[in-house]
Amino acid sequence: MIEPLTIRDTAVGGVKLLRLRHAHDAVRGDLAVIEFAEALPFTPQRCFWTYMIPGRQVRGEHAHRLCSQFLVSAHGACRLRLDDGQSRAEIALDRPEIGVLVPPMVWAEACDHSSDSVLLVLASHAYDPDDYIRDYSEFLDLLKHKQP
């Protein structure tokens, strides 16, 4: 039997934790599925994954101006640190049926990777270096200017 998709909000504005449709089969193995129209508010334009992250290295450490991302641990485990300038959250990605939807203007860092970690990312936009905010102070300044 395939379990239903569940979505819940987190403490960080716009970030959602999704438990994907999944089925457990002790004989044939498990299955997790992303039905894009049901689970994501965008059609992915880019897919990439990180792996073989050495030691205590941190990936991400940026926000996007326009791009949304959906992150899921395809193998192994890592933690996501998320920050919208007012609230912060840490989320463990340690099961392939759990994913996190990160909207634009949320600072994201992936850390504490297990040696076998494979972090899969679906992005709403093609790669554009101008979409990245890589300086945390600049990120906070942009948020201040965005406030009414």
In order of their start, the domains of the chain are 6-146 (2.60.120.10)
Q: Whole-number mean pLDDT of the chain?
A: 94
Residue 25 pLDDT greater than 90, yes or no:
no
Q: Predicted confidence band at 76 (pLDDT cuts at 50, 70, 90)? A: very high
Cα dihedral 31→94→105→21 (10° resolution): 20
Q: What predicted TM-score, i.e. pTM, was given to this entire model?
A: 0.92
Going by C-alpha positions, the residue among 95, 105, 97, 93 that lies closest to residue 131 is 105
Spatial contact of 13 and 85, defined as CB atoms under 8 Å apart? no
Q: What is the pLDDT of residue 147?
A: 61
Token output for 68: 């949304």
- Considering only residues 109 and 32, tell me which one the structure prediction assigns the higher pLDDT: 109
The pLDDT of residue 148: 57
CB 16 within 8 A of CB 8: yes
| Confidence label for 1 from pLDDT (cuts 50, 70 and 90) | confident
pLDDT for the residue 55: 76
Whether 62 sits among the annotated catalytic residues: the reply is yes
- In angstroms, the CA 76 to CA 87 distance is 27
pLDDT of residue 54: 86
Q: Is 50 helix (H, G, I), strand (E, B) or coil?
A: strand
pLDDT > 90? residue 129: yes
d(CA 94, CA 91): 9
Beta-carbon count within 10 A of 27 CB = 4
Q: Which residue among the candidates 22, 62, 75, 145 is catalytic per the annotation?
A: 62
Count how many Cα atoms sit within 13 Å of the Cα of residue 111 in the half-sphere of its side chain: 12
